Chain A
């Protein structure tokens, strides 16, 4: 855990939830992409009237996952300067 503000008691928000969210959504996205590309049987496509939802959701989720990780990289957690108590 990287401690951003050493002078306070501790930082309760030190591990970055954005990286965790980004990673989980990204992995979900990759699985769906795989299913959409290689496992889209006609029967499954018919369920959704021909829309390959695995493929499109996969693309969306990977994009969302990347966005979260990029956000976390560009703006690392800064515990606001006004003290909590």
Chain B
């Protein structure tokens, strides 16, 4: 998506559509103001006072992830690769979300840490902590830029403002409610955003299905062949020609390393669950979120698949033509342009804006927590009063927004946003997951192993990305014959393996920490009671994390079988 693609097409909005969008923004800012009245300490600002019910944090949990990447990136993948894209949900998200709720959340919530990097510091000391906090903070700024860029694209298409004006205005809106209300404002808006996004995409999907002639119509017309409608082995998606290796790439690279790395250690997500009111609510948050997550593909990927059939430009692009300057990322926008009447168009525009704001606000609110607690309070200015750090958090929010405007420019140079992001996640998250899982279950692992594992794992991912054909755009040299999403899966896998190897070797040569310091942080040294809710036995089935997770697992297996 180049900056120049701004004037390829425009959405034909009228006064009704603008009214709907304006109403939505009024409510968003209103939530920011309401939430501000309740912010009285830094825990309020950064963790919502740990007081939110599980359905709120659960929906916020997926809404934070339902940003630009998800909507535009996944519908683009749907248009280009077909139903194999569901792997990003059913293999690449749901199992990891259930795992987070069942296995890892008790450590995060039970140890009373305020952020994921803080857990890292308690377990491994400052070396690993600094690496983690810095890399996370930088990643958030980059990803916030992508969300911001797409938000600005919508404003540009809608109002015809120049892209840079759209960027600044969009940034100002996100800034105003995150800086005012902190995490509460971000989370409440995310819950609202979730419903607005569904209200936008569900009717769009229904109209598109009606237009193409239902599922039968898709089966008859999909190009190049019916392969596009089966999820396995997904050779188009991975870019790995050998079906066996492609399946291994999806299961190990995406399903295990990338997805577990993302969902279980990414503070953007974990922060939402940490804002819950009890340990069982915190465990339920990702599990509750897993249910809607399973069905998001039907309103994101299916429209993408249909767009590639009924939108002339996209059909042309897929057939090898130039597509009149559009890209797969435009799939949803083109459907809106061609199918929706005024009125519904306004709701759809509001939904897309909601999505990109949700994504960006999530990045920014996670960034300001890590910046304030983990970088500023830990390394720069220690031992000040609580209000000082809330103030720093607000300053960090402003700073992050300004930087995001700059990173939006970087995002604009990449053709397929998904690749770009997968590469980033590979660099930061895959080794993180290896280090966390080793650290939580292997008490012998040392502090030195913590940071050396992370650094070497990340380095391995960068090396693979540079050697691949296109994972890092112009910086890749093409020595390894892998490209596209497959390159990301391989880079993530390499990061994981190298991290584990280095951690084990370094651990055997350095002195382990005293066991009493690791209570609450390592499984074998933590009393069972502190990892579970004392009342859990009395909870009804729909509030029990393990029973809910079991139901979720069965459902996702059924979905995989249906769309084999």
Q: Using CB atoms and an 8 Å cutoff, list the residues of chain A in contact with chain B.
A: 1, 9-15, 17, 20-21, 24-25, 27-28, 31-32, 35-36, 39-40, 44-45, 47-49, 51, 53-54, 56-57, 60-61, 64, 77, 79-80, 82, 84-85
Cβ-defined contact, A15 with B341, below 8 A: no
Known: A13-B52, A35-B342. A53 touches B191 (CB 8 A): no
**How many angstroms from the CA of A13 to the CA of B47 in the assembled complex?**
12
Could you show 28 A-B contacts with beta carbons less than 8 Å apart? A10-B49, A11-B38, A11-B51, A12-B44, A13-B51, A17-B188, A20-B27, A24-B192, A27-B23, A28-B347, A32-B343, A35-B342, A35-B344, A48-B207, A53-B207, A53-B344, A54-B343, A54-B344, A57-B199, A57-B344, A57-B347, A60-B199, A61-B199, A79-B51, A80-B281, A84-B277, A84-B278, A85-B112
Q: Distance in Å from the Cβ of A32 to the closest Cβ of chain B? A: 5
**Is B277 touching A21 in the complex (CB atoms < 8 A)?**
no
Within 8 A of A (CB), among B22-49: 23-24, 27, 30-31, 34, 37-38, 40, 43-44, 48-49
Given known contacts A28-B20, A35-B16, A61-B199, A17 and B277 CB-to-CB distance under 8 angstroms: no
> Are the CB atoms of A12 and B49 closer together than 8 Å?
yes
Is B395 interfacial (CB-CB < 8 Å)? no
A82-B19 CB under 8 A given contacts A12-B38, A47-B341 = no
Q: Interface size on B (CB < 8 Å)?
A: 50
Given contacts A47-B338, A57-B199, A60-B202, 15 further A-B contacts (CB under 8 A): A11-B51, A12-B49, A17-B191, A20-B27, A32-B343, A44-B341, A51-B210, A56-B206, A64-B199, A79-B277, A80-B277, A80-B278, A80-B281, A82-B278, A84-B278
Decide yes or no whether B179 CB sits under 8 A from chain A. no
Would you give the shortest CB distance from B143 to chain A, in whole angstroms?
A: 25
Question: Is B535 part of the contact surface with A, judged by Cβ < 8 Å?
Answer: yes
Q: Assess whether A20 is in contact with B281, with CB atoms less than 8 Å apart.
A: no
B residues near A32, Cβ cutoff 8 Å:
343-344, 347
Q: Does B159 contact A (CB under 8 A)?
A: no
B195 an interface residue at 8 Å Cβ cutoff? yes
Contact mask for chain B residues 101-112; partner A; CB cutoff 8 A; 1 contact, 0 none: 000000000001
Contacts of A24 in B (CB 8 A): 23-24, 27, 192, 196
Contact of A48 among B16, B44, B191, B340 (CB under 8 A): B340
Tell whether, in the assembled complex, residue A12 and residue B342 are in contact, meaning their CB atoms are under 8 Å apart.
no
Q: Answer whether residue B184 sits at the interface, using C-beta atoms and an 8 A cutoff.
A: yes
B361 on interface, CB distance cutoff 8 Å: no
**In the complex, which of the residues A20, A24, A25 has the most CB atoms of chain B within 10 Å of its own CB atom?**
A24
Which secondary structure characterizes the binding site on chain B? Answer: helix
Shortest Cβ distance from B27 into A: residue: A24
> Are A84 and B191 touching (Cβ within 8 A)?
no
In the assembled complex, the Cα of A77 lies from the Cα of B34 at a distance in Å of 16
B53 within 8 A of A: yes
Which residues of chain B are within 8 angstroms of A61 by Cβ–Cβ distance?
Answer: 199, 347
User: How far, in Å, is A46 (CB) from chain B's closest CB?
Assistant: 10
Interface pair A36/B51, CB less than 8 Å apart: no
Are A48 and B339 interface neighbours, CB within 8 A? yes
Q: How far is the CA of A64 from the CA of B19 in the complex (A)?
A: 20
B203 at the interface (CB under 8 A from A): yes
- B56 in the interface, Cβ–Cβ < 8 Å? yes
How many whole Å from B56's CB to the nearest CB in chain A? 7
Shortest CB distance A16–B (Å) = 10
| Chain B minimum-CB-distance residue to A85 | B50
Instruction: Chain B residues near A84: list those with CB within 8 A.
Output: 49-51, 277-278
